[in-house]
Amino acid sequence: MNKKNLTPLILIIPLILYIGIVAIDVTQLQAQAEQPPTVTITAPIGNPIRPQRDGVVIAGRESITVRISITLPETATQNWTQIEVLADGVGTSEQNITFTPQTSSTPRGELTDLAGNVLKSIQGEWRGTQAYFLIPEIAPGQTWNLYYTIIPPQTIPTEPSYITLTIKIKFGPEYDWQEIPKTIRIINPPILRLYIVIALTLGVFIGLLILTKIGFFEMYTTLDLVSMAMIGAAMVVWVQILGRQFVFPITDRIPFAYNFAVADIPYVLLLITAITLVKKPGTASLTLFVYNIVSEIGWYGLDPLWWAYPFAQGLPVDFYILLRGRAIFTNKAIFFRRSITEEEFESAVEIPGLRFIDGLIVGFLRGFFMQVSLYTVFFPNLFRLEYLWEYIFWWIVIPWSIGNAIGGAISVPIAERIREAAQY
């Protein structure tokens, strides 16, 4: 082949390569532009601080909120418009159970950017048993969160039961409807846990009363009972009046302040003060019980099923008081002594800082068992709420316990001053 024949090929080959590269780029851009938004369905939803377990609902719950998140990736090159959504409010189940649409609650939607800022809101409507939404437009990097409320079945024939919701979505007038299923597991409340806690509470408290009868520690005096009642009432003032009205709305805006129970420190101080004044097993439980009863009378309404809650968080503390006896919140290395003379008490070995360790342990025990009992016993049974335990344990239970422990330690010298002042 001569050079004259090669010259056209040399000129044509780069042109062909260039056309191929351009064609690939155009194809990629076209595919990218036509890529629809992604859809995620979450049911039930909680709040960011206390997320609920997705896809699990406890039978008998008052209602749940379903969230449909429609996100257009940042890499998309065009806006999408006129997206329609038909969200199932009933569902299908092999056990012949269904949800009930809560038509008194209007479906709604919020458009957010990457930072979570709300840019726009819309209202949907109920069309029979389906919640209907019309999304006017979504741009790259934005998310539409659509919400509607449904009522779970009050009872289930077998556990677990399953209900599948069908979410229909149409990405524009020229597109066909697509169906996305969301299966939700329905379970019964763990009522056995509540019965066990109530039985343990009664058994342990009766045991403490028996210990007083056999002389293991002295029975409460009138002054002891008055002290616990007054401090329990002071707890109510702090939480229900000062805290919820003025303090908690501020501290809850501070990152991690809720997790580490910053606003709970005055509450722990009052508990430490009650123990410092009385120094008898049962002090923690009875003080917390006074708070619980007064709060129910004034704010929540009486509910005997909640009466085990103060004992669930207080009895572990009372066991520690039983272990330390009258030496609690002192540096005296005295543990589990049935009786001790004044001379023995004064001559006992001292461990520097032991009183602060007492405060740490009391605060930690109260915070830990408070949160564990709330999320594993009382919330599932009394509110029918199933939280994401893996998150709750590490981001609520442990930080709260640490915060209460720190609060307990720093409360010890303050409680001692209060006790000294009360003796005059």
Cα–Cα dist 409/314, whole Å? 17
Question: What architecture is domain 38-187?
Answer: Sandwich (2.60)
How much of the chain is helix, strand and coil, in % rounded to 5? 50, 20, 30
Q: List, as one string, the DSSP characters of 207-275.
A: HHHHHHHTTSSPPPPHHHHHHHHHHHHHHHIIIIIIIIIIIHHHHTTSTTTTTTTGGGHHHHHHHHHHH
Residue 309 DSSP SS3:
helix
Query: At which residue do the structure tokens 């194809």 appear?
Result: 27
Q: Give the separation between CA 118 and CA 100, rounded to whole angstroms.
A: 29
Sign of the dihedral through C-alpha 205, 207, 212, 218: negative
For position 424, what pLDDT does the model report? 65
Write down the pLDDT at residue 169: 97
d(Cα 61, Cα 121) in Å, to the nearest integer? 28
Cα dihedral 388, 389, 393, 394 sign:
negative
Eight-class DSSP state of 282: T
Kindly give the confidence (pLDDT) of every residue in the chain, 424 residues in length, as a single tens digit, with 9 standing for 90 and above.
Answer: 455 554 555 556 655 665 655 454 444 444 444 678 999 999 999 888 899 999 999 999 999 999 999 999 999 989 999 999 999 999 999 999 999 999 999 999 999 999 999 999 999 999 999 999 999 999 999 999 999 999 999 999 999 999 999 999 999 999 999 999 999 999 999 999 999 999 988 888 788 778 777 776 678 899 999 999 999 999 999 999 999 999 999 999 999 999 999 999 999 999 999 999 999 999 999 999 999 999 999 999 999 999 999 999 999 999 999 999 999 999 999 998 767 888 989 999 999 999 999 999 999 999 999 999 999 999 999 999 999 999 999 999 999 999 999 999 999 999 999 999 987 6
Query: Could you tell me the two tokens for 290?
Result: 């006074």
Token pair 């408070």 in the structure block, residue: 370
Query: Residue 149: which H helix or E strand, with range?
Result: strand 143-151
- What DSSP letter does each residue of 108-132 carry, written as one string? EEEEE-TT--EEEEEE-EEETTEEE
**Most distant pair of Cα atoms in the chain: their distance:** 120
Encoded tokens for 331: 């540096």
Tokens of 29: 């851009």
Phi, psi (degrees; rounded to nearest 5) at 219: -70, 155
Res 64: pLDDT: 97
- Domain ranges for the chain: 38-187, 191-423
